[in-house]
Amino acid sequence: NRKHDCLILSTLEELVPHDHLVRKLESTIDWRFIYPMVEKLYSQIGRPSIDPVVLFKMIFINYLFGINSMRKTCEEIKVNIAYRWFLGLSIYDSVPNYSTWSQNYIRRYSDSNVFEQIFDRILNQAVSYGFIDTESVFGDSTHQKASANKRKSVDQEVAVLKKYYEDDLKEEINQDRINHGKKPLKEILEPEIIYDEETGEEINTTKTKHIKESTTDPECGLFHKGEKEKCFAYSHQTICDSNGFVLVSETVPGNVHDSVSFKPAFDKLKKKFTDIENIGLDAGYKTPAIAKEIIESGIKPQMPYKRPMSKKGFFKKNEYVYDEEYDCVICPNGEILKYTTTNKNGYREFKSNPNKCKNCPYLSNCTNSQNHTKVVLIHVWDRFMEEVEEIRHTLGSKEIYDKRKETIERIFADCKESHGLRYTRIRGLKKNQNQALIIFACHNLKRMAKWSWYFTKKSPFSFNFYEYIINFLDSTFKKVILYFKSTTLSTNWNLPIGRFFLV
């Protein structure tokens, strides 16, 4: 058979297509940056080890091309000339065994921060190219199904963890209570004092709660959100820039709420970048604590309208007006609700006069209370929520928030579909954090490689004049819309470009 007996007199360099992704990856970054990162993890004596650059390139092939199995990756490298070229292996060189990566991870990389260093190095390379735009950043969280059966679990009693903002909130609550002539609270989470039976020492414990803990992977959490199926999972709190490059990622158990895991990721972001002006977040992050954290950092939170969570047929919260001068709330019927206390959750309580309420014509639309008393709650940090609403109504705010679907949501979709973010086959929080960093590093690397290849390899004669005209007219039209929105009261300027420019 001619097909099986033909001889190929060619080099690997000639066989790999000039526009293959591996060529773009190789030309984008100098992979020797890995050597100083792992130097301390290798012994200076003994037999020579497998080149660490080859090992890490193998894991990049694993996730970049969506193979998601090191055993299968090694089999693909054996027969794929482009992969061999990328690894620097000739057609006669043997491919490292699939267990080699596992053993190197166990013995060298598991307790190191080399994965975070690789992620940061690729991100810094994108910064040097000028691809990173941090004027507006966008954050969200996505879950990754854990390698754990939801039917194999036990009920565990765990302590309620103290929230990061609790000390600041307690100080604000006590100051508010003092201003109203009330005694300050002792503790928000009251500790219970018990004694160790063996030593007799005092042990302070806090309130506890019951959770489902997987017997297969105890470090994951039971994820349940909206109509999605319950499953054990890990959540990845991620923030990206306007150009779709991942800036930071923090992995937590799936039962941790997005608003709780936001703080560590946001702290990392502020350390890396200091020129951020806006951050776009969905309604799940619209809480007083997060609004305070962002605004005090000098960044504008771009958040959507959140529908009031009042019962159908009842007055909405914004229909009760707070009067700052007299420190009271005025109901829709014009009656006054007086301040009574500030509770341990940080809410000021304003209560109505039941003698007036029982004869009110709007009672059925106001409260179902048996004693005819309406209670309105206003958070001590409500001023930050009001500032968020003011920002939402400023010019250009909606356009910034709308970019979420083009950036962070598209990143999650691409990584789940192409880079193995949908499911995980490894167990443990640390391992999944490292895996997420490699996946997002792959996303950044592929994006950077394609962009740099486009700008450096594109022929000057391939300039598309038609495309340039279209983009110019589109940007000009958007500026015209923003100008008329700011100078007129008309809301009918969202017209398609074809109505004005026929191209």
Please write down the long-range contacts of 482-485, taking CB distance under 8 Å and 24 or more positions apart: 482/395, 482/396, 485/395
Is 488 a residue whose pLDDT tops 70? no
Q: What is the pTM of this model?
A: 0.84
Give Cα separations from 242 to 80, 136, 280 (angstroms).
35, 6, 10
Please give the Cα distance from 408 to 393 (Å, whole number).
23
- Note the pLDDT tens digit of each residue in 151-210: 999 998 887 777 888 888 999 999 999 999 999 887 654 554 554 545 555 555 567 788
- Note the pLDDT tens digit of each residue in 66-109: 998 899 999 999 999 999 999 999 989 999 998 988 898 888 89
Dihedral sign computed on CA atoms, order 69, 72, 76, 78: positive
Question: Which pair of tokens denotes residue 300?
Answer: 């504008």
pLDDT at position 11: 85
Beta bridge partners of 233: 145, 221
pLDDT at position 209: 82
Beta bridge partners of 342: 348
Please give the Cα distance from 251 to 50 (Å, whole number).
30
- Note the pLDDT tens digit of each residue in 401-443: 999 999 999 999 999 999 999 999 999 999 999 999 999 999 9
Q: Give SS3 for 258.
A: helix
